[in-house]
Amino acid sequence: MSETLWDWGPEDGVLFSRSREGDSQKERLLEAGVTLFARQGFEGTSIRDLAREAGCNSSLVSYHFGSKEGLYRAVLQGHFDVLMENLEVLKGRDEPPIRRLVSVCRLVMGMHRRYPHLWPLVLREMQRPTDALTEMFQRAVACLAGYVMETLREGIRQGLFREDLVPEHGTLALAGMLNFYFLSEPVSGFLIPRGPETDEIYAQQVLALFLDGVRLPEEDGR
Amino acid sequence: MSETLWDWGPEDGVLFSRSREGDSQKERLLEAGVTLFARQGFEGTSIRDLAREAGCNSSLVSYHFGSKEGLYRAVLQGHFDVLMENLEVLKGRDEPPIRRLVSVCRLVMGMHRRYPHLWPLVLREMQRPTDALTEMFQRAVACLAGYVMETLREGIRQGLFREDLVPEHGTLALAGMLNFYFLSEPVSGFLIPRGPETDEIYAQQVLALFLDGVRLPEEDGR
C-alpha cells in the first residue's frame, strides 16, 4: 500500500456544502456557529452574537435555520456528515480487521486535526445534552463505535484477537486513547506538545499498544 | 497478595476535613460547591445559589472562603488532596512496575466512582481554565502523570517494557482509556451500562490491553 500510515485527515475536507452565490450568508452563519458554540456553548451564544460574528442581520438566523437550535443542529450535522461519509468510504474498502483499525484511528485523529471545534462541541453535548440533539449525536456514535465493535468481533472470529476481549470495552478503550489526547490538551499540553509530528508518533504508539493488546499471543498456541 | 484486584476506591474517602461542631456550615458550603460547580460551572453559579443550596446566609461564603473563587478553589483542592494522599500511599509501597500500574488504574477508577463530581469539574477546567486554578490543576496532573511516566521508564530500564515506548504517550493513552470511560457515559451509556461490576470488567480489559501492549514480547528474544 503506497499511502503513508498517517496521512492525516478525512478524505473530504468540506464541512458544509460548497458555496453557491446566494448561500454565502448561510455559510458565514454556519462558520460563526462552529466558532461561537464551541467557545461559549449553545446557551451562552445569542442570535445577536451569531449575526455579529457572521456580519449579517439577526433575522437571517431564523430565515436560514428556523432558530438558534436549527443552526446548532446544522453545525453538528455538518461535522457528523463528514465523519459518516468517511466511514462509508472505509466500509466500502472491506479491509482485513487490523487494517480497518488503522484506518479508523486515522479517521478519528484526522477529524480532530481538521475540525478542532468538533471536540469542544461534543464535550458540551456530553456535559449538558440538548434534548433534540442527543439522538443525532448518539446515531453518529453508534455508527462509528458499531463499526469498531464489528471489526473487533470479526477479528475474534478470524482467530486474530483474543477470545476474552469484550468488543464494547475494546472500542471504548480505543476511543479513549484517541480522543483524550486532544481533549486533555489544555491541561496536559505542558507534558506533550501537540502538532502533526507528535500526533503521528502518538498514533503509532496507540496502535502498537492496542494491536498488541488485542492480538492473540502467538506463543499461546490456541 | 490477598487484596482483590479491584477493591474499588481510594483508601481515604474523606473529601473535606472531618466535621467539628463549628464547621458544619463551612462543610455544607463545600458540598454545595461540589454539586453546583459540577452542574453549572464556576461562572454559572452565584454566591446566592451556593448559600441557598447550603441553607445558610450568603455572607458566609466570604466569611469562610473569601470569595466564590475561594470556595471553588477549596472544592477542587479537596478532591486533589485525596488523590495526592492516595498517590503518596502508592509511592510508599514501592511495588514493581506492573503492580504499580495496576494500583494506579485502581486509584483513578476509584476516584471516579467515589467522587462522581470530580470529572465534570475537571472537564470544565479543561474547556475554560480559570486562571488561578490552572496551576493547582497542573500540579495534580503533573504528580499523577509523573508517577506513571516514571513507572514506565522504570519498566523499560528493567527490560519489562518495550524500548520504543514513549513514556509520555503511554501515560496519556492509559489516562485516556481510564477517564474516557466515565467521561463518555452520557453518550456511550447506551453501549455499555456503568456500575461496579462493569467497571471491574472494563478495568481488567484495559489493564490486560495496556500491559500486553507495553510489555516486551517474550518471544522477541531481546
Residue B49 cell numbers, joined: 445559589
Regarding the domain with residue range B76-217, which homologous superfamily does it belong to in the CATH classification? Tetracycline Repressor, domain 2 (1.10.357.10)
Sequence-separated (6 or more) residues with CB below 8 Å from residue A178:
A105, A108, A109, A112, A206, B176
Structural contact between residues B188 and A188, judged by C-beta atoms closer than 8 angstroms? no
Residue B54 cell numbers, joined: 447550603
Size of interface A-B (CB pairs under 8 A): 157
Report the distance separating Cα B119 and Cα B112, nearest Å: 7
Sequence-separated (6 or more) residues with CB below 8 Å from residue A20:
none
* Alpha-carbon gap: B109 to the closest alpha carbon of chain A (Å): 14
Q: Please give the sequence-ordered ranges of beta strands (E in DSSP) within B26-178, or none if there are none.
A: none
A217: how many CB neighbours lie within 10 A of its CB?
13
Among residues A184, A206, A182, the alpha carbon closest in space to that of A195 is found at A182
Q: Per the CB < 8 Å rule, is B126 touching A184?
A: yes
Among residues B222, B221, B219, B97, the alpha carbon closest in space to that of B163 is found at B222
Report the distance separating Cα A78 and Cα A91, nearest Å: 20
Q: Per the CB < 8 Å rule, is A219 touching B214?
A: no
CA angle at B135 for the pair B132 and B140, rounded to the nearest 5° = 135
CA distances from A80 to A15, A74, A86, B188, B210 (A): 9, 10, 10, 16, 30
* Alpha-carbon gap: B14 to the closest alpha carbon of chain A (Å): 26
pLDDT at position A221 over 50: no
Range scoring the smallest mean pLDDT among A147-156, B16-25, B70-79, B111-120: B16-25
The DSSP secondary-structure symbol of A19 reads: P
The DSSP secondary-structure symbol of B128 reads: S
H/E segment holding residue B184: none
Highest mean pLDDT among A37-46, A125-134, B44-53, B119-128: B44-53
Q: Which residue in the block uniquely carries the three cell numbers 474517602? A: B13
Collapsed DSSP state (helix, strand, coil) of residue B215: strand
Q: A residues 11-70 near B, CB within 8 Å?
A: none
Structural contact between residues A123 and A64, judged by C-beta atoms closer than 8 angstroms? no
> What integer pLDDT is reported at residue B16 of this predicted model?
63
Q: Which residues of A touch B134 (CB under 8 A)?
A: 187
Q: Which residue in the block uniquely carries the three cell numbers 471553588? A: B72
Give the CA dihedral B30, B34, B37, B42, nearest 10 degrees.
50
Residue A148 φ then ψ, to 5°? -65, -45
pLDDT at position B59 over 50: yes
Question: Is some CB atom of chain A closer than 8 A to the CB atom of B145?
Answer: yes
Computed on alpha carbons and rounded to an integer, the radius of gyration of chain A in Å comes to 20
* Percentage of residues in chain A having pLDDT higher than 90: 38
Q: Out of B122, B187, B217, name the one closest to residue A126 (CB).
A: B187
Q: Out of A123, A188, A208, name the one closest to residue B213 (CB).
A: A208
Question: Is some CB atom of chain B closer than 8 A to the CB atom of A195?
Answer: no
**A-chain residue closest to B120, CA distance:** A127
Q: A residues 82-141 near B, CB within 8 Å?
A: 120, 122-127, 129, 134, 137-138, 141
pLDDT at position A32 over 90: yes
Average pLDDT, chain A: 83
* B195 vs A57, more confident: A57
Q: Which residues of B touch A211 (CB under 8 A)?
A: 213
Sequence-separated (6 or more) residues with CB below 8 Å from residue B212:
A212, A213, A217
Question: Is some CB atom of chain B closer than 8 A to the CB atom of A212?
Answer: yes
> What integer pLDDT is reported at residue B3 of this predicted model?
41
Please give the average per-residue pLDDT across B168-193, as a whole number: 87
Q: Out of A126, A169, A201, name the one closest to residue B202 (CB).
A: A169
Question: Is some CB atom of chain B closer than 8 A to the CB atom of A1?
Answer: no
Domain parsing of chain B, residue ranges: 76-217
For B124-179, how does the pLDDT look when each residue is reduced to its tens digit (9 = 90+)?
Answer: 777 776 665 677 777 888 899 999 999 999 999 999 999 999 999 999 999 999 99
Question: Is some CB atom of chain B closer than 8 A to the CB atom of A209?
Answer: yes
Q: What is the CATH number of domain A76-216?
A: 1.10.357.10
Q: Which residue in the block uniquely carries the three cell numbers 430565515? A: A63
